[in-house]
Amino acid sequence: MVKLTKNALKVLEKRYLRKDENGKVIETPEQMFRRVASNIAKADEKYGGDVKKTEKEFYDMMVNLYFLPNSPTLMNAGTSIQQLSACFVLPVEDSMDKIFETLKHTALIHQSGGGTGFSFSRIRPKGDIVRSTGGIASGPVSFMKVFNSATDVIKQGGRRRGANMGILRVDHPDIMEFITCKEDPKELTNFNISVAVTDEFMEKVKKGEDYELINPRTGKAVKKLNAKEVFDKIVEEAWKTGEPGLIFIDEINRHNPTPHVGQIEATNPCGEQPLLPYESCNLGSINLSKFVKNGEIDWEKLKDITWKAVHFLDNVIDMNKYPIPEIKKMTLANRKIGLGVMGFADMLIQLNIPYDSNEALELAEKIMSFIQKEAKQASVELGKERGSFPNFKGSVYDGKYPAMRNATVTTIAPTGSISIIAGCSSGIEPLFAIAFVRNVLDKEDRLYEINPYFEKIAKEMGFYSEELLQKIADNNGSVQGLEEVPIEVQRIFVTALDISPEWHVRMQAAFQKYVDNATSKTINLREDATIEDVRKAYMLAYELKCKGITVYRYGSRPQQVISAKEEKEERGIIKPRPRPPVVRGVTRKIATGCGNLYVTMNEDEHGLFEVFARLGKAGGCADAQLEAVGRLVSLCLRSGVKPEEIIKQLKAIRCPNPLLARGGPILSCPDAIAKAIEDHIKGREVLVPARLDEFEKKAKQKEMTELKITDKAPVGVCPDCGSPLVYEEGCRVCKQCGYSTCG
């Protein structure tokens, strides 16, 4: 019987377990693992293998949470969909028919559960001539917006939403428009963006020299820009919004295993998988938290799981149902797989090693070099048994190895959902938080989440208490500086924001040294980090031979950051006060004619600060309108408007479905919001339904759920469960239900 956490079960039931036509779950987690193991093992029939033996091996390593494949494999293996790959790269050529052919292929991929990456560098710049029509080109950013809009209306099999990576070379004439294209948070919401920078550009940045912009239509230089000024703009935008990231395109192609097939121009949505046009890659991760016994790493077990995982991922290639023929052809020609890790922070804790230490960097290299070596050898043996990948001749392996089944074998990918299923830390990221309070809409008690390793140590050492959990939650989930926590424990239990950007970059580089593809890692910066801190992180990533870099400065995404110059120019204009890292508040449940309304009211040191309103499990127009009301109310509160004035505007608005409640009728959702705010500022008891049995029930229990947003990096509210989103591994992720903007 698999041992799963409550969160793991929630995620599985919501997205992974099979359901009948009425949406009822008809599969247990064990049955899911059996379905996947049975389906993937069938590939052995093609090669004369023992299918039953293989199925048992695959099932055992999944059910014991030693290894999990990427989400599409867990969701779709053994179903009618059977699309098993997570990431794809599609070409974007400079013609209208080719662009919209790619858009069609994108829709098919998103519908089947994959994410897509594109380089828009081949598209002619804005203002360039279009000879076929005599018109003027609109440029790559305009076409990105078309792709973004299409993604908005496509659901990935109903369980994963489309995600894209947009890349533009730094020498494209439209590079400055691209760098700033996500300043407005409402633009390109389905895209991560990265600038593909060359070695030449980076060296010119150091020297402050100019470089040429090349029109991709003609191949000729059209203009020069100062490299340092362009780099400064990239850094400034990344400081403001977290984007664009950088892709070190020359470093990527230095490690291209099949240069005779083509040059790599793009990556998948999170940047960890550089791919040729029409290539796909299936990924999986080893749970490192499971390989520590009595303070030592179980290397034999790690070797065993590595070999079995390579076997599993290679089988996925044969069992996959590809969205379009071009992808099938290219994927089978190179047979790339990406075996990575999760639970690294948990492993460090079990070994009493601080994340931000040289010892941790050394362990990262030791672990990944071991997995890389064993994965390569496993691929060699598979190549001997089954044949090398078709493009082996002429590849970097030709003449170096007798055979090679897979052009690549390792990748460090985001593991947002599968790490929740496995009950471990995400990828190679540090801990998200030591303790925090969950936002549970239908629960009345405060629900603390605490790191199990910390809880165990705290209880063994005798400093565990409910009061301590409260203090940790109030301290952004960190134990740093808390008197109750011994210094040696503080040193081990560090969170993402406790760690300097340099250590984040160095950890990424340590893993990258022994990874075929690339490494997904968010470089976290504190809210008071400077533009210079971002610049140093980007330059260090280049110097340490990373293949890309993504930064996220705490609090930079909820609203547009105004520069110092703009602040001086706009002193006469009322500007909302910024959102602090931590706010306190309550969530009130109010029965309305439209269903249960949850009104969350948060405060900062000045008083009522923001309001969120949500109707139970409703969606669509009703929730959209409530979100709009909440945003406007919050904007007013942050701009100094008194709550009484807001109450006056909302109170007594009527809808067709009023409801009688204790304290008076609830005329509409806006009316309920007004009364919730009024009760909040006056300290009244919460409104409850007028039914006697409900009244008696609620009289015994407080109708109040405390909400503390104590994320390391709040970037909005989860559309599925209402919990705060955090920025991790290049994605906005919900730690409660596993929702991710990257699918």
What stretches of 279-358 adopt beta strand conformation (E)?
280-287, 292-293, 296-297, 337-342
Q: Which residues of 671-703 are buried (b: 16+ CB within 10 A; e: fewer)?
A: bbbbbbbbbbeeeeebbbbbeeeeeeebeeeeb
Distance of CA 452 to the CA centre of its chain: 23
Catalytic residue among 70, 164, 192, 268: 268
Annotation marks residue 272 as catalytic: yes
pLDDT of 580 strictly over 90: no
Dihedral angle computed from the Cα positions of residues 616, 621, 624 and 629, in that order, rounded to the nearest 10 degrees: -90
Per the annotation, the verdict on 268 as an active-site residue is yes
pLDDT at residue 730 greater than cutoff 90: no
Q: pLDDT of 692-711, one tens digit each?
A: 344 344 434 433 333 333 33
Catalytic residue among 87, 270, 281, 742: 270
Q: What is the mean pLDDT of residues 446-473?
A: 89
Which residue type is seen at 164?
N
293 forms beta bridges with 296
**What integer pLDDT is reported at residue 684 of this predicted model?**
45
User: Using CA atoms, how far apart are residues 245 and 179, in angstroms rounded to an integer?
Assistant: 10
Interval 514-522 mean pLDDT: 96
Please give the structure tokens belonging to residue 285: 């991760």
Name the E strands within 376-442.
435-438
Give just the sign of the alpha carbon dihedral 123, 731, 517, 59: negative
79-88, 105-114, 717-726: which is most confident: 79-88
DSSP code, position 12: I
Annotated catalytic residue: which of 55, 272, 374, 449?
272
Per-residue b or e along 433-451, where b marks 16 or more CB atoms closer than 10 Å to that residue's CB: bbbbbbbbbeeeebebbbb
The mean per-residue pLDDT over the stretch 162-186 comes to 94
**Helical pair 51-63 and 29-41, crossing angle rounded to 10 deg:** 140
* Residue matched to tokens 């897509």: 116
Three-class SS state of 6: helix
Q: What percent of the chain has pLDDT over 90?
A: 65
Distance in angstroms (rounded) separating the CA atoms of residues 27 and 31: 6
pLDDT for the residue 444: 44
Angstrom distance (rounded) from CA 13 to CA 28: 9
Lowest mean pLDDT of 138-152, 221-235, 303-317, name the range.
Answer: 138-152
Q: What angle do CA 694, 699, 689 make, to 5 degrees?
A: 35
602 is catalytic: no
* Average pLDDT rounded to a whole number, residues 121-141: 90
* Domains of the chain (ranges, CATH numbers): 6-84+281-422 (no CATH), 87-267 (3.20.70.20), 435-494 (no CATH), 583-709 (no CATH)
Rounded Cα distance, 301 and 308, in Å = 11
Count of beta carbons in the 10 Å neighbourhood of residue 230: 23
Band (pLDDT 50/70/90 cuts) for residue 597 is confident
How far apart are alpha carbons 527 and 609 in whole angstroms? 19
* Cα 653 to Cα 301, 647, 658, 689, 717, distances in angstroms: 65, 11, 10, 19, 27
161 vs 481, residue with greater confidence? 481
Residue 422: pLDDT band (50, 70, 90) is: very high
Residue 713 has pLDDT above 70, yes or no: no
Q: Is pLDDT above 70 for 525?
A: yes
**Overall size of the chain counted in residues:** 743
Q: State the pLDDT at residue 707.
A: 32
In angstroms, rounded to a whole number, what is the distance separating the alpha carbons of residues 404 and 559? 49
Distance of CA 639 to the CA centre of its chain: 32
**CA 92 to mean position of chain CA atoms:** 25
| Confidence bin at 561 (pLDDT 50/70/90) | very low
Judge whether 512 and 531 are in contact, CB under 8 Å: no
Q: What is the mean pLDDT of residues 594-618?
A: 82
Q: Among residues 370, 383, 381, 382, which one has the least CA distance to residue 410?
A: 370
* The CA-based dihedral angle spanning residues 363, 369, 370, 376, taken in that order and rounded to the nearest 10 degrees: 160
38 CB-side CA count, 13 A: 8
**Is the predicted pLDDT of residue 438 greater than 70, yes or no?**
no
> In the prediction, which pLDDT does 185 show?
84
pLDDT at 474: 85
224 neighbors 210 (Cβ within 8 angstroms): yes
